[in-house]
Amino acid sequence: MSQFLVEPLAVAKIVLHACKYPHTAVNGVLLAEKPSPDSSNSSSKPIVICNTVPLFHSNLNLAPMLEAALMQIEATYKNYAIVGYYQANELLNDASPEGVGAHIYQKIAENCPLPRSLYILVDNKAIDRKCSTIPLIYYQRKEAGQSQKLERLPNSAVAIDDEEDCLETLANLLVRQAYRSLVDFDNHLDDIGLDWTNSRLAEQIRN
């Protein structure tokens, strides 16, 4: 039984964000629906990651804009919780989740209202136009001990909802260069008229 189920919209936004800025690192957060207070707190059901918010493509290390972004996300997505973090590293060969991203993820994990949180690292080498595989690597923090290091999750722990359809959609989006219309929080700060929730892109992806 997998611990997480990632919806195609989330996968698409992560990969499009990485493709929009191939020369720099990008990051963002993962969203899942908040559990209703009367539902039983069953940690056996997979957590559904239904959406992501692309955050920055420059200065990922700096705190103030991250704080502003997280506050806006919490205020806008009232029925959703931030359950994870994703990052695509700058260098092609760099597949390390450590660094500032790990610190941000630890904070998110500490404040996550759901029983588990996820760190998704984009596998830069695996991104290609044919989209034969989902180019993502999954990590989670070890609960035991003070070290709080990240441990890699096997691919079986994270399922992609309707994987074949997702790959086909992703291939279409890359061919159409749909990443040009993706707006991350950095773009929003440069021009606040741009919609960082990417509602139009989400409609396109769903259809």
Partner 1 sequence: WALYEQVFISALDCGRLEAADACLVQLSRQFPNSQRIRRYEAMRLEAEDNLDAATEIYKKMYETDKLDSLSRKRLVAVLKARGRSVEAIKELTSYLKDFCTDFEAWLELSELYLNECDYKKAAFCMEELILSNPHHHLYHQRYAEIKYTEGTTESMELAKSYFAQAVRLNPNNMRALFGLLLAAGNCASSTNKSSTSASRRESARLAQWAAAQVAERYRAAGSKAAKFTTSNSSNSSDAASSDVATLALQLSLCCSPTAAAGDASSPSQGQQQPASNPPML
> Which spans of this chain sit near partner 1 (rule: CB under 8 A)?
23, 59, 61-65, 67-68, 71-72, 75-76, 91, 93-94, 99-100, 189-190, 192-193, 195, 197, 199-200
Q: How far is the CB of 177 from partner 1 (least distance, A)?
A: 13
**Which amino acid would we find at residue 175?**
V
Question: 78 CB contacts (<8 Å, ≥6 apart)?
Answer: none
* Smallest distance, partner 1 to C-beta of residue 98, A: 11
What DSSP letter does each residue of 78-117 carry, written as one string? TTEEEEEEEEE-SSTT-----SHHHHHHHHHHHT-SSS--
Which CB, 67 or 165, lies closer to partner 1? Answer: 67
Question: Partners of 52 in the beta sheet?
Answer: 30
Sign of the Cα torsion 169, 175, 176, 182 reads positive
38-to-21, 34, 170 alpha-carbon distances in Å: 42, 12, 37
Nearer to partner 1, 144 or 192 (CB): 192
Report, in Å, the least distance between residue 151 CB and partner 1.
22
Q: How far is the CB of 159 from partner 1 (least distance, A)?
A: 31
Instruction: Classify residue 192 by burial, with Cβ atoms within 10 Å: 0-12, 13-18, 19+.
Output: exposed
The nearer residue to partner 1, 59 or 133, going by C-beta atoms, is 59
Minimum CB–partner distance for residue 192 and partner 1 (Å): 5
